[in-house]
Chain A
Amino acid sequence: MGPFNVLAYIIRRLIGAVLMLLLVSLVTFGIFFWMPKLAGQTTDQIAASYVGKAPTAEAIAATKERLHLDQPVVLQYGHYLKGIVAGQDFKAGPEVDHCPAPCLGYSFRTSQPVLPQLIDRAPATLSLAAGAALLWLVSGVTIGVLSALRRGSFLDRAAMVIALGGVSLPIYFTGLLSLAIFSYNLKIFPGGGSYRPFSEDPLHWFESLVLPWVTLAFLYAAMYARLTRAGMLETLGEDYIRTARAKGLPEKTVITKHALRSSLTPILTVFGLDLGLLLGGAVLTENTFSIPGLGQLAIAAINGGDLPVVLGVTLLAATFVVLLNLVVDVLYAAIDPRVRLG
């Protein structure tokens, strides 16, 4: 497999990724602009819902024109796509606002461009997701491997009982419990809503994220421990493991080089998908701990009917998922020698 093949594969996957994002944006757009029409709302009513409280006739007309609401949904979608690729001009009264590419439009509520808002909220989500992912990947895989190697032992049973409990607990419940215990009663960690950006106060940033990291990681670590254990047990029963042992390889080499490597591939797939989804907004965790990330932004936008922001967050989240899937697929070839990029 030459480097050219890898490049061709990546290019093909990138084209696929763009197509997928187009589909995601089309569906999201359809939900907000086409569904209300199906449900029998007139364009005036739709425009009014974006004007705010006590809409005047002129404001409605202006909004309608600004957002091209009187045009068919397909054309409106075309305007949106054009904005991403080439930027877009918006009429705001006598003046024209130019929104440079990639333009995700203006928030209906705050009249601010969407992209800076997303960039503003991203670090909080990124801090939360990256820290938790590191924690759950290391702990989950370690526990899973140890459980598989000592199958039936006390450690295995205890770990699996806790893991089963972990996958059955909703994050907003464990989050609230941990806040009640460690923040409110024991006062070890700061409570909800105490997040500060890393650039402002690194120590406070760390302190405020410990509880969210641990609660979020616990949920996923439980899932990954179960996955790793099942994968390891299946791999350890394979013939090539017996062969490796039979030719006298040390047990450590058999476990790490032979068994772990092939049972890690499904974990990696799930990890890519999970991390991608989290980066698009760990909605529940951010909500429970009041972390001002993308998920919080999305919820606020949805409750306020602020379509451009919702579309922006959804697209960004889908981009993360698609990109991480691509990275995972390319990494596959590095980990698993059986995989050929095709």
Chain B
Amino acid sequence: MTAPIEVTGSDAEAQPEAVLAGIDRKAIQGRSLWQIAWLRLKRDKVALIGGGIVVFLILVAIFGPFLVQDPNVFHQNLNDPTFNRPKYGFWHSGISGDHWLGVEPSNGRDMLARIVHGARVSLLVAFCATLLSVVIGVVLGVVAGYFGGWVDTIISRAMDVFLAFPLLLFAIALVGVLADASVFGLSGNGLRIWVLMFVIGFFNWPYIGRIIRGQTLSLREREFVDAARSMGAGSFYILFRELLPNLVAPILVYSTLLIPTNILFEAALSFLGVGVIPPKPSWGGMLSQAVSTYSVAPMFMVIPGLAIFITVLAFNLFGDGLRDALDPRAK
């Protein structure tokens, strides 16, 4: 990709010939796309905050579970049996020095621990599912866009079929069928997490596939592809060494924006009771428990909801900023 040459300093502006001759080397700088993107991103405070939260959440998901209490220990002494809600804390949240985010109604398990453990499941599933979608989508998108003809027709039709699937219903059915079985020696939540990753990832590829196909369609007409071909490069080489590096920017942007979608998807499945099942903590599962308790213990609903909201928002903010920063048309 070409990068605009940025001329700084009034001397250079006044003396284009001198610049062309390369006399004043410090005044002229060719910047790569990534340098420009980074400069733009640095100026975008909102995106940086989003990115900061994303990094923090990833750290929480990796190291958090080692730092918090056991998420499955009951503290029933903190429960008010009359209303079946925590005795202490505002809005009957159970928030105290020992339990920073309170405890859940009835069993009194520590909310902070459950949120942190939930973050690990949520991010793990979302990241792996995104990776799967991106790999399938990029490979098929590039192949469809580059080869055209019947290859393109088949892949494009397949995308249409996938887009017509009632995705959520389908995912529910698939997880429901697979999750009770025992496959490859896995069962229970271990298997469920793999099934979730696979199902979410496998059905989301057409979205990124379409974008990559469109980009490839225009890229393949460019001179550098002709040049490579005239030098005897094979299709495989052109696809993965010439075209793919030019697609890194859209791939990165749409991956970043696909992650929050997948976080919501996983939470939705767990909310409906077909994702991760108790006692393993998950944000969607906690919200589904909160359906029956929100009237007496509203904080039990608010905390996992906010966890999902903040996570998804942070990824969206960062992804939007990244898209603006990498968009060659933007100023």
Q: Which of A20, A39, A180, A298 is within 8 Å of B301, CB to CB? A: A180
Interface size class of A (residues with CB under 8 A): 35 or more
The reply to whether the CB of B5 lies closer than 8 angstroms to some CB of chain A is: no
B268 x A35 contact (CB < 8 A) = no
Are B305 and A177 closer than 8 Å at their CB atoms? yes
Q: How far is the CB of A90 from chain B (nearest CB, A)?
A: 23
State whether the Cβ of A24 lies closer than 8 Å to any Cβ in chain B.
Answer: yes
Asked if B55 CB lies within 8 Å of chain A CBs, one says no
B169 and A313 contacting across the interface, CB-CB below 8 Å:
yes
Question: Nearest Cβ in chain B — how far from A154, in angstroms?
Answer: 16
User: Which residues from chain A contact B151 at a C-beta distance below 8 Å?
Assistant: none
B268 touches A284 (CB 8 A): yes
**In whole angstroms, what is the CA distance A322 to B161 when docked?**
9
Interfacial chain A residues near B305, Cβ < 8 Å:
169-170, 173, 176-177
Q: Which of B158-188 contact A (CB under 8 A)?
A: 160-161, 163-170, 172-174, 176-178, 181-183
Across the interface, name the chain A residue whose C-beta is closest to B167: A277
Query: A41, B309: Cβ atoms under 8 Å?
Result: no
Chain A positions 259-291 with a Cβ under 8 Å from a chain B Cβ: 273, 276-277, 280-281, 283-284, 287-288
Complex CA distance for A176 and B308, rounded to whole angstroms: 14
Determine which of B160, B298, B313 lies in contact with A164 in the assembled complex, contact meaning CB atoms within 8 Å.
B313
Tell whether, in the assembled complex, residue B182 and residue A302 are in contact, meaning their CB atoms are under 8 Å apart. Answer: no
A36 & B181 in contact (Cβ 8 Å cutoff): yes
Residues of B within 8 A of A184 (CB): 294-295
The answer, yes or no, to whether A59 is at the interface (CB within 8 Å) is no
Contact B287 A172 (CB under 8 A): yes
User: Given known contacts A176-B301, A314-B169, A318-B166, is B268 in contact with A170 (CB within 8 Å)?
Assistant: yes
Q: Which 6 A-B pairs have the closest CB atoms?
A: A317-B166, A173-B305, A168-B313, A39-B181, A168-B312, A280-B166
Contacts A172-B268, A298-B169 known; list 12 others, CB within 8 Å: A24-B161, A28-B170, A32-B177, A35-B178, A36-B181, A165-B313, A168-B309, A168-B313, A173-B305, A180-B295, A284-B271, A302-B172
Measured CB to CB, the residues of A under 8 A from B are: 20, 23-24, 27-28, 31-32, 35-36, 39-41, 164-165, 167-170, 172-173, 176-177, 179-180, 184, 192, 273, 276-277, 280-281, 283-284, 287-288, 295, 298-299, 302-303, 305, 310, 313-314, 317-318, 321-322, 325
